[in-house]
A and B are shown apart, each in its own frame.
Chain A
Amino acid sequence: MLSVSSVTKKFGGLVALNNVDLKVEQGEIRGLIGPNGSGKTTLFNVITCYEQATSGSVSFRGRDVTGCAPYQISRAGVARTFQHIELFKGMTVLDNVLTAAQCHSKARLGGVTFGFPLVRREDARLKDIALQQLEFVGIAQYKEEPAHSLAYGLQRRLEIARALATQPALLLLDEPAAGMNPTEKQQLIQLIKRISESGITVIIIEHDMRVVSDLVDRTTVLDSGVKICEGTPAEVQNDAAVIAAYLGKDDLATKPTGAVSIAGVVGDSKGPFSPSPQPRTCALALKLINSFYGNVRVLKDISFSLQEGEFVALIGANGAGKTTLLKTISGMLAPRSGHVTYLGEEITGMRSDRIVARGLVYVPEGRGIFPALTVLENLMMGAFLRKNRTEINHDLEKVFTIFPRLKERIRQAGGSLSGGEQQMLAIGRAVMSKPKVLLLDEPSMGLSPKLVVEVLSTVKSLHGAGQTILLVEQNAKAALSVAERGFVLEVGQLVLEGAAGEVLGDPSVKTAYLGG
Chain B
Amino acid sequence: MDHAVTLVELVMGGLAIGSVYSLVALAHSLIWSGVRVVNFAQGEVFMSAPFIALTVLMGSNLLSKQSFVISILAGVGAASLVGLALYLGVIAPTAKHGFLYVIAGCVGGSVLIQNIAILIWGSTGVQFPSFLSTEPIKIGPFLLVPQDLWIMAISLVAMGALYLFLAKTRIGTAMRAAAQNRSVAGLMGISHSLTDSLTIMVASSLAGLAGVLLAPKFYVTPQMGTIISSKGFSAAVLGGFGNIPGAVIGGLLLGVLENLSAGFISSEYKDATAFILMIFILMARPGGIFDAGKGRRA
Give the B-binding residues of A (Cβ under 8 A). 330, 332, 351-354, 356-357, 361-362, 364, 368-373, 377, 380-382, 384-385, 429, 433
Once the chains bind, are A372 and B186 in contact (CB under 8 Å)? no
Once the chains bind, are B180 and A371 in contact (CB under 8 Å)? yes
Return chain A residues, CB-CB under 8 Å to B173: 373, 377, 380-381
- How far is B176's CA from A345's CA once the two chains are assembled, in angstroms? 32
Identify which of residues 158-206 in chain B touch chain A, using a CB-to-CB cut-off of 8 Å. 170, 173-174, 176-177, 180-181, 183-191
Once the chains bind, are B170 and A384 in contact (CB under 8 Å)? yes
Q: Which single residue of chain A is at the shortest CB-CB distance from B183?
A: A332
Return chain A residues, CB-CB under 8 Å to B176: 370, 372-373
Once the chains bind, are A356 and B180 in contact (CB under 8 Å)? no
Q: Contact mask B277-297 → A, CB, 8 Å, 1/0?
A: 000000000000000000000
B29 CB → nearest A CB, Å: 14
- How far is B183's CA from A362's CA once the two chains are assembled, in angstroms? 12
Partner of B177, one of A330, A364, A370, A433: A370
Partner of B186, one of A332, A369, A377, A380: A332
Once the chains bind, are B187 and A384 in contact (CB under 8 Å)? no
Once the chains bind, are B177 and A381 in contact (CB under 8 Å)? yes
- How far is B190's CA from A352's CA once the two chains are assembled, in angstroms? 9
- How far is B188's CA from A356's CA once the two chains are assembled, in angstroms? 7
Q: Which single residue of chain B is at the shortest CB-CB distance from A426?
A: B184
Q: Which single residue of chain A is at the shortest CB-CB distance from B191?
A: A353
Once the chains bind, are B187 and A372 in contact (CB under 8 Å)? no
Once the chains bind, are A368 and B184 in contact (CB under 8 Å)? yes
- How far is B185's CA from A385's CA once the two chains are assembled, in angstroms? 12
Among B177, B181, B185, B189, the one with the most A-chain Cβ atoms within 10 Å of its Cβ is: B189
Once the chains bind, are B186 and A364 in contact (CB under 8 Å)? no
A458 CB → nearest B CB, Å: 20
Contacts A370-B177, A370-B184 known; 6 new A-B pairs at CB < 8 A = A353-B188, A357-B189, A370-B181, A384-B170, A385-B188, A433-B189
Once the chains bind, are A356 and B181 in contact (CB under 8 Å)? no
- How far is B186's CA from A351's CA once the two chains are assembled, in angstroms? 9
| Contact flag A381-B181 (CB < 8 Å), given A372-B176, A373-B176 | no
Cross-chain pairs A/B with CB under 8 angstroms, 26 sampled = A332-B186, A353-B186, A353-B191, A356-B187, A356-B188, A356-B189, A357-B189, A361-B187, A364-B183, A368-B181, A368-B183, A370-B177, A370-B180, A370-B185, A371-B181, A372-B180, A373-B180, A380-B173, A381-B174, A381-B177, A381-B185, A381-B188, A382-B188, A384-B170, A384-B174, A385-B189
Q: Which single residue of chain B is at the shortest CB-CB distance from A377?
A: B173
A368 CB → nearest B CB, Å: 4
Return chain B residues, CB-CB under 8 Å to A357: 189
| Contact flag A380-B187 (CB < 8 Å), given A368-B181, A373-B180 | no
Once the chains bind, are A353 and B170 in contact (CB under 8 Å)? no
- How far is B64's CA from A222's CA once the two chains are assembled, in angstroms? 75
Once the chains bind, are B190 and A364 in contact (CB under 8 Å)? no
Once the chains bind, are A384 and B180 in contact (CB under 8 Å)? no
Q: Which single residue of chain B is at the shortest CB-CB distance from A386?
A: B189
Return chain B residues, CB-CB under 8 Å to A370: 176-177, 180-181, 184-185
Return chain A residues, CB-CB under 8 Å to B186: 332, 351-353
A255 CB → nearest B CB, Å: 32
Partner of B184, one of A364, A377, A433: A364
Return chain A residues, CB-CB under 8 Å to B177: 370, 373, 377, 381
Once the chains bind, are A384 and B188 in contact (CB under 8 Å)? yes
- How far is B186's CA from A364's CA once the two chains are assembled, in angstroms? 12
Q: Which single residue of chain B is at the shortest CB-CB distance from A368?
A: B184
Q: Which single residue of chain B is at the shortest CB-CB distance from A415?
A: B180
Return chain B residues, CB-CB under 8 Å to A429: 188
B32 CB → nearest A CB, Å: 15
Return chain A residues, CB-CB under 8 Å to B174: 381, 384
B96 CB → nearest A CB, Å: 16
Among B176, B177, B190, B191, the one with the most A-chain Cβ atoms within 10 Å of its Cβ is: B177
Return chain B residues, CB-CB under 8 Å to A330: 187
A182 CB → nearest B CB, Å: 32
Once the chains bind, are A384 and B184 in contact (CB under 8 Å)? no
Return chain B residues, CB-CB under 8 Å to A354: 189
